[in-house]
Structure 1
Amino acid sequence: MESILHLLFLLQFLPLLSSSESYNPQVKYFINCGSDSNVDLVGPRNFVGDKNSNPSFCVGKSNYVRNKNPLPGISPLYNTARIYTKIFRYMLNITQTGSYLIRLHFFPFSFKKTHLDDALFNVSASNFPLLSNFSVRSSSTEFPVIKEFFLTIAKGNFNIYFIPADETHFAFVNAIEAFLLPQNFFIVNDTAIPTLRTTDGALRTLYRINVGGPQVNDTLWRNWVPDDDYLTFGSSEQAPCNGEPQESRQRLVVTDIAPDAVYKTCKKVSIDNNGPSNIPNITWRFNVSKEARHFVRLHVCDFFSQPLDTVKFDLDISPNFSEVIDPNSDGYRETGTPLFYDYVVSSDDSGYMSFSIAPKENSVKKVAFLNGLEIMEFVGNSTFEVPVEHETRKHIALKIGLAGGAALILVLILLLSICLRLRRLKPIKPLILKNEFLCGRGRSPSSTTKRTENASIVTSLNLKLKMSLVEILAATENFNPKLLIGEGGFGKVYKGTLESGMKVAVKRSDSSHGQGLPEFQTEIMILSRIQHRHLVSLVGYCDEGLEMILVYEFMENGTLRDHLYDRKECLKNPSAETELTWKQRLEICIGSAKGLHYLHTGPDGGIFHRDVKSTNILLDEHYVAKVADFGLSQSGMPDPDHISMSLKGSFGYLDPEYFRTLQLTNKSDVYSFGVVLLEVLCARPPIVNSKQREEINLAEWGMFWQKEGQLEKIIDPLLVGHINQNSLRKFGEITEKCLKPQGADRPNMLDVCWDLEYALQLQQTPAHREAHEDSTTTAASTDLALPPMQNLSYNMFPVDDYSDFNSICSVFPTKS
């Protein structure tokens, strides 16, 4: 008798397993767990036995079991299972970013002295939980237990973890489905549902109801059950209704939202004009999680409205949500038009949610009706840290040995560095590399870091700036290659448009570019606590799954380097393409210097950028300069007795003193800025491949001609005849100070700001003043012949230019 009842329970799930309609997903996984054979179901669902499939599917230790006494009529999909006593994962290769349906099948049976309904475990998808302390025994549904989730998955490896609750329990699964949903499944009128864009995690299906109709299944192999079991006692008399749905012209954007069978049947309640004054209703009640957020989708198909006699009715969802349903609000008055409405509703602590419909008393047609209802719960809003599986003693011993060897090497390197410092070596020239560092694109090998798979560690950072991957995908059109605007040490940069209309630059991490999680965290921590007119603003960040994405304000005119020379033709120095005047170049240098000065003047030693270069100076639509890319930055003055073994920066810009001593100071940024000044003047990269050795390194080449007093010989040809000689002379002196071999001899960034302002004023000085200067005058006498601006105090900068310095006090408060 028990077997017969069990079989009856199973028969109600057969429509879910054998859909007569077909949807063929572009990306799909159907896995028959613990089996060496395939199971074909009607449609394109061929469940592949994972014992004979690609071994990358299964990662971890597990056992596979078979039911030796299968029930008659049960699908062979439930005759096998994988069981796990330790953490185990299925790793799926997702080839297309989008919305996916994940369906997990659990059917408990006995093997030896163990029964699968004794399992207690957790299930997570990549970095957020799907099921917590899950047991099929406590499930509210009959066997088999099928759990269904909707979630956004980015392109790459996607992991589904099965984790036993503790050492005394185990986990199991019979089958797994994962497939790409039809395009725009969660899109209405070309607009993504707001809550789905801004919520991390997934949607878990709770109920899918075919109101007034029988059990049916749809093209996505989802089961729709009758509503009778959920009607509350005492509901007003319901009347079934049916009709033939017409083709939707606007609201039904995909055919796979719901099957026609759902729209053909409904339940209705109406008011008789000659009837009682009380308004009847229909109410359904569902058990839900307490104080949780739910996504609700209502399906209606109006068979009752007439051209001059339309339907409106009230919808109430407990505890505190109400809405007027007007199927004709879009101007479509044809009967039988399928529509669906999406809402996000929070439950209270009662543990249930009720839905009630009632006719509007002032409506021409006093009818209320409902065809279908879906209820899904938001799950996985918090980060789920996957525990690490215990390692064998052999692996532990191996790791200890490797760690000991690495520690010995570090000690030897430290002793060698100390010896080099004690010898007080003379200043060395900046390192010169060829080919691989042409155009200034190279990076110190030691500055690169391995990308960490778990980027979710940054969830402890500024949560106000956190953005969902769905929102970023919408802004960049799924990272459309046509929107690619650049690449850097962190990854590719795309132009995007947020829902608000704001233009942004979206930087997506790529491990092949060298930088990773440390740079990602540093960028967020620094930019979330500083704000300045000449620093690029961080709009937001995303750390879902393996994605590490930074979103900045969009700078219309790109990088400074883009306007100085063509990166593809950097060896030919095609400066004819630049449009920047000498005045504009000076203003850009002044703005960049102000931004760096703001960084350097914070408390505890301020912030050192560590990667000042022309590609990290961006220009907005008005050519206002803003310093960008803080991934290598360091906060606070380093300990003078501490020797960092990590050399970070870009060749051609690297401070020789920092290279020699490994001691970082704000004067290292000053040196790099000096190289940028020469780039601005000469319109060429810091390192080029040249047969003439003295021309390879821009810093050496520029300082050679500066000391010869003939800097004008190497300036951008477009600037010849357009630079005031006094302005050029002052600019050369500033650059020479910045490039001093010893950091102590270099100016701070405020001094550089002042000198650049002075050079700008000299450029604007009337040309006839130069005629009074003797070409043989010394530098000192030349300064006396110039306008007496350099004798002014620093606090006499024009208010408009330095007003943003006042914001330093609000970001870096003075210590009492």
Structure 2
Amino acid sequence: MENLRIRKTPLPLFSVLVFLLHFSSLHFPSLAYEPPDNYFINCGSNANATLYNHVFTADRFFHSKASSHINGGNQSNLYLTARIFRQESYYRFDITENGTYFVRLHFLAFASSSSNLSAALFDVSAFPNILNSGFMLLKNFTAKNSSGNSTIKEFFLGIDPGSFRIYFTPRGSSFAFVNAIEVFLAPANFSPKNYTSSSPLVLHTIYRVNVGGQEVRPDKDKLWRNWDPDDLYLKNSNSAQEAVSSQMPDYKEYELDGFVAAANDSIAPVSVYDTAKVMDNSSSSPSTLFNITWSFNVRRNAKHLVRAHFCDLVGQTADIVFNLYSNGNFTKRVGGPESMFGNLLPYYYDFVVESKESKLINISIGPNAEETTTKNSFLNGLEMLEIMEESAPIPNMKEPKSINVIVVVGSVLGGLFLICILVVGFLFGLKYRKAKHVETSEWSPMPAFGGGSTHSRFTEGTITGSPMTYLNLGLKISFAQLQQATNNFDTKFLIGEGGFGNVYRGTLSDGRIVAVKRGKRHEHSSGQGLPEFETEIMVLSRIRHRHLVSLIGYCDERSEMILVYEFMEKGTLREHLYESNLPRLTWKQRLDICIGAARGLHYLHKGAAGGIIHRDVKSTNILLDAKCVAKVADFGLSRSGPLDETHVSTNVKGTFGYLDPEYIMTQQLTEKSDVYSFGVVLLEVLCARPALDRNLPREQINLAEWGMNCKKNGLLEQIVDSSLKGQIDPSSLRKFSETTEKCLQEDAYDRPTMGDVLWDLEYALQLQQTAKHREPHDDSTINASSEFILPNVQHFPSHSSTVNPDDMTFSGVDESDKAAMKYSHN
């Protein structure tokens, strides 16, 4: 087994610590390994470990924190270390050969001076192919075990060549951990038979039983499996007796009528096929002659793949005909002279059974009285694997600026090595604090821009009657300064008109070019527009992001409502798609713009204090600077508050054509309402036409409905902007359209988060940039998670409700919203 390959950035430090310090500056993409496709990993250790005479390779040669008082007892040294994850993290494995893979996760919840692993609560998910959604392997998992033994979770996954990832996601404020990981290719003839599904193969081993025999330990199995004795599961011990053979099973390779001959002892070891349970014909009770039944506790309403192993040890194959039952239902006829499975020839049969509401699965064998007078039956082994059907959300791939990996190590370090670690920790701490400082400054509010005022409406209270203590008074700019900046709001400097008011280009006294949005005069006295004005200031004065338009200042003198923003030279996204003579954007430019806007919205949802829902996402509220960097604008309709709540009840506001249908129906606002609106923007980008166009035929008026109808009928390529002809890679188009379709789901529960959307769009860009498949975020770290935890958004039923039109205030309808913030060089 080759050692771990890790990307690293060397530091120009003295040679004694060069090796160690390489690891202090790692930007872990994950734990990626060289072929072959067999990986056995000792997690959290700087040394190899051995279990059942099998070597597990260290996942790192550096640890940032050592534990003490670790008592492995009789456990292998594989369980003396663990890797702890405080945020969503992953291991990555390079797969070169497609097939069915064993995936085993080892857990032992030991306690150290720094961590008690029994307190961990987390999810584990797998992504066999980045183009597909992942699968939840373990949910709300805790490794606490009263017996003090290790817990091994085994899965079978169908994996295609490429990058395979296993994610560990802490629940709430808890953490995740793992002691060891196995990923290796199963034998070619190992895949389940008689099982078809449109979903990739994902199975979780629940039971593996050696019927009629003793426990088979992993060191006695070629694939390191554990087989339990069946007595615990036997429903009536008087119904069966053990049969044992001293001869070797006759392994062969062929199939017949759904039965598969075991080609070798990788299917099941000799110790499984040379023991069996058979009918106990010595009993005088007629009921005991009917069948032998094994009963297993399982999850309610879960599907299971069952593999039943047979090998005739009685020597009466030609005479024995019996039936296999599941939950009392006939499943398969076994045996008979035409079976071609002779004495000592091992074979198996796969079938699917569902647990229903009983939380039990019963497997039975019993003689077929109609076809034979020999009342006997036999079974050698049983494997029961749950079919995992719950998909996992695509993880957020945002790259953190610092590393926060904690390793618990139970070994005693030498004095010299410990000194080296302390030096590394000191240098690493300096690097961490520097990175943290940079990160903090990036998200800090805009520096205050001076200027006093003679009177402020906010000192009198807000619309709720509370003083506006949240406004950043340092951002106030005097009316006189803005008059000077715009030449007294000269129409020559008018660059846009919107629902709130006119937008002017201005130049401040320090030379900065800004956009000045002045509220309409008729709204000042009536109070209309004041909530939007206040909201915009409160939102933008406390957030700062590269993809959100920055607020330079505001003015509230003389009943004025004026907002001052950074100037966006290239205007709105809509202008570059249609309704202007500007050069059309390339496909790559459009993807970059969509990714930038998605980053801004994702930050609003997850990064801003308390979470913010924009509520008016549209192409006129996505602005472009001189380098075509996208920035989300216009936060007047935004709602802030904790987004982990189910919803916020509110009067429906937004723009026709972009409004979330579920929000209209229920008046329940969630961040998924922004996701729907953004899906409409994605269609605008692809098709270069408005969200609503009443000049088109009836079925084409609403872009979202028309676009999704075309997608469903395979006609999407026909409505793509003609200026993009020949530019779009088919794979990029497919990923982009799939992302759009997910955003536009009618049920908010079925829509992705903005983090998911961002991940998909970045991958669509990767597909566009290269014909060769390349994993996005190859330079992301092992803790490749967002800085913000994804919310648990509950499912809202799509029910009808009566909405009073008078209560539905909108910021504007597309037809009348002529470039709400039309920033340009004019």
Q: TM-score, normalised by structure 1?
A: 0.46
The higher radius of gyration belongs to 1
Greater helix content: 1
Bigger RCO (CA 8 Å, 6+ sep):
2
Q: TM-score, normalised by structure 2?
A: 0.45
